[in-house]
Structure 1
Amino acid sequence: MSELPIAPIKRLLKNAGASRISEDAAIKLADVLEEIGEDLARDATKLAKHAGRKTVKAEDIELASK
């Protein structure tokens, strides 16, 4: 089960144009987003360590997302 709350995930889908959203769809999207987020966080952490920092900065996230 995902750590992300389902209500904001449903809002994301609504903002994307979905008129109706099943609970299963919201849960699945939360799982996928969490997986992507963990990979991104891992890469950003490596970038911060490579730069000699313990703190992950926005620039690390930006670089990791490319």
Structure 2
Amino acid sequence: MSLAPLHRLIKKAAGGAYRVSENAADELRKALEELGIKIAREAVDYCAHAGRKTIKKEDIELAVKKLLKE
């Protein structure tokens, strides 16, 4: 994943008044990747429970709700 979009994301969250280090952007990349993997694993479980082999938007939405609720 490219770091440029993450730099923009952090700057947007900060109101644009701050500079963003490479280490900060890289750390956000790692955190988002870990969260993405957790969401994907949860979505796979929902998909399997429904007896499907295709992960649908709804599986991701349910996984996000569950994981961000905790």
**TM-score between the two structures when normalised by the length of structure 1:** 0.88
**Poorly superposed stretches of 4+, deviation over 4 Å:** none
Partner Cα distance (1:59, 1:10) in 2: 29
1:16 corresponds to 2:13: yes
Instruction: State the Cα deviation string for residues 21-61 of structure 1 (Å, max 9, x = none).
Output: 00000000000000000000000011011111111111001
Give the unaligned 5+ runs of structure 1. Answer: none
Q: Are 1:5 and 2:12 an aligned pair?
A: no
The answer to which structure, 1 or 2, has the higher relative contact order (CA under 8 A, 6+ apart) is 1
Percent sequence identity over aligned pairs: 52
Aligned length: 63
Of Structure 1 and Structure 2, the greater helix share is in: 2
Q: What value does the CA root-mean-square deviation take over the aligned residues?
A: 1.0
Give distance in 2, aligned partners of 1:64 and 1:48: 10
**TM-score between the two structures when normalised by the length of structure 2:** 0.83
